[in-house]
Amino acid sequence: MSGISERVYPKEMDANGVGNIQGVMYKVFTTRYKVAMDWLRHYFHGRELRVVDIACGSGYGTEILSELGEVVGVDLDPEVVHYARKNYKNERTSFMVGNADDFEFLESLGKFDAVVSLATVEHVADAYTYMSWIHSALKPGGASVVCFPSVATMDWAMPHHKRDISIRQARRLFRKTGFEVKRDFYQNHKLDIRHLISEVTSYDNEIPVPPLRQWVKYYLIHPHHAILRAYETTIGGGIHFGDQEYLLLPQPVVEPSPVRARLTS
Ligand X SMILES: C[S@@+](CC[C@H](N)C(=O)[O-])C[C@H]1O[C@@H](n2cnc3c(N)ncnc32)[C@H](O)[C@@H]1O
Question: By the criterion CB under 6 A, which residues form the site for ligand X?
Answer: 4, 6-8, 29, 55-57, 61, 75-77, 80, 99-101, 118-120, 123-124
Residue nearer to ligand X on the CB measure, 149 or 250 = 149
CB of 147 to ligand X, least distance (A): 7
Q: Which residues contact 12 (CB under 8 A, 6 or more apart)?
A: none
Report whether the peptide linkage leading into residue 250 is cis, meaning its omega lies within 30 degrees of zero: no
Q: Which one-letter DSSP state was computed for residue 68?
A: S
How far apart CA 105 and CA 82 sit, in angstroms, is 19
- The CA-based dihedral angle spanning residues 257, 169, 61, 196, taken in that order and rounded to the nearest 10 degrees: 170
C-alpha to C-alpha distance for 113 and 100, rounded to whole angstroms: 18
Q: How far is the CB of 131 from ligand X (least distance, A)?
A: 14
Give the Cβ contact number of residue 58 at 10 Å: 24
- Provide the b/e sequence for 134-159 (b: ≥16 CB within 10 Å): bbbbbeeebbbbbbbbbbbbbbbbee
Minimum gap (Å) between residue 41 Cβ and ligand X: 18
Confirm if 115 and 50 have CB atoms less than 8 A apart: no
**Is the Cβ–Cβ distance between 133 and 139 less than 8 Å?**
no
Q: Determine the residue with CB nearest ligand X.
A: 57
Least distance to ligand X from the beta carbon of 259, Å? 39
Nearer Cβ to ligand X (119/127): 119
Q: How far is CA 19 from the centre of its chain?
A: 23
Sign, CA torsion 15/22/95/86: negative
**Residue placing its CB nearer to ligand X in the complex, 51 or 56:** 56
CB-nearer residue toward ligand X: 159 or 256: 159
Q: Are 113 and 142 in contact (CB under 8 A)?
A: yes
Q: Which CB, 236 or 242, lies closer to ligand X?
A: 242
> Considering the complex, what minimum distance in angstroms separates the CB of residue 226 from ligand X?
24
Q: What is the closest distance, in whole angstroms, from the C-beta atom of residue 30 to ligand X in the complex?
A: 8
Cβ closest to ligand X, residue 82 vs residue 226: 82
Q: Smallest distance, Å, CB 112 to ligand X?
A: 16
151, 167 Cβ separation under 8 angstroms: no
Whose Cβ is closer to ligand X: residue 9's or residue 174's?
Answer: 9
